[in-house]
Structure 1
Amino acid sequence: MLGLSSLQKITAAHRMLAHGVAADFMDEYVRIEESTAIESLKKFVKAVVDIFSKEYLRSPNNEDIARLLVNGERRGFPRILGSIDCMHWKWKNCPTTWKGQYSGHIREPTIVLEAVASFDLWIWHAFFGLRGLKNDINILEQSPIFFELEQRRAPAVNYSINGHENTMGYNLADGIYPKWSTFVKTIPSPRGHKKKIICKKPKRQIEKM
């Protein structure tokens, strides 16, 4: 491993992450053994986490929440923290023996990503890797998104409605999500010009209003 260049090791890590190829394929591509390719991938991922976790790979803190609330209020969505949804990513190189487990409604192997993004497209939560046959509710039941809230360690979002004090913000969500105080869903029977516009626009456009 010491005789290999850094370029070979990083190329192998990038190739495995970007294209999902097997580690033993790297021997033909950049002349690296399987064990060396796996070790290079582990070190590359660890370096990314060590460098970027404090700024990017984290939940919003008090300062972030304050900024999100100000921008949400400005756009007509007071106390909003972001939008939540699940996306299916096609798994091109899914092993044949696993295809049945990962094939959902699109009948191709997929891996599901649950994400929460704010108005500036900053992703505050990502839960990735579950089987493609699961829907948003199945993912939510396994997701750690509200773990800090359940443990009473999440930053508070303080506001009052009709004399009732609340300490939780909310996320825009599709109609499939449960009726929790942390979700605001589509209006089933919109009345009034503003509500009709909200129902017609996708969530990304709503957050820019």
Structure 2
Amino acid sequence: MTMELFAHPFSSYCQKVLIALREKGLDFELRLLEPDQTVTQAEFARLWPLQRMPLLRAGETVLMESTLIIEWLDLQHPDAPRLLPADPQAALQVRLFDRLFDQYVMTPMQKLVFDCIRPAEKRDPHGVAEAHALLEKAYAWLDGQLPAAGWAVGQCFSLADCAAAPSLFYADWVHEIPPELHRLRAYRQRLLAHPSVARAVDEGRPYRSWFPPGAPDRD
């Protein structure tokens, strides 16, 4: 059964799923969501009227939302490296970090990015200030929780790291992680050096001119 991923390689939530697919060594077809791909765009809109990337189709199964897609991949391919621990208590900890990275790093990061797209008269300085403040709090908390080595939860790369990689990658571009947060900065560097993450970053590299605030000349 061929899996099709409707996605774009520069999208943070798409990268989250792309990292999971590569981590598990699974074959899939990338259905590139770009404006000139009219057939793919129309099919995507038919399958998911909200048109929020990514979407995975496998036969008659259609899945939206990155976390759900990754959990489904674990259920369908249990012999590939697991991204959720089999132990329910350990899985809860992985899910916690997945939600923390999505809600408190990815979401404020996107607020800062999308505000740059708005017309000047419609920008939201109060919301932007709130997003910066939330990232400051999230960074400080994460620095106190992350281990000095290994991954977010234990020694195995997991769903939590799939969420962390794109969120921290882009968040650091719009609100740099303070130098004194050594553990968080080191964790981000470990993520960027990890093969499945490095590949996702490289596949998004040609699109860096699209980054509304302007992509820094690093990473």
Q: Same fold (TM over 0.5)?
A: no
Look at both structures and tell me which one has the larger radius of gyration over its CA atoms.
1
Name whichever structure is richer in helix by fraction: 2
Q: TM-score, normalised by structure 2?
A: 0.23
Structure number with greater CO (CA < 8 Å, separation at least 6) is 2
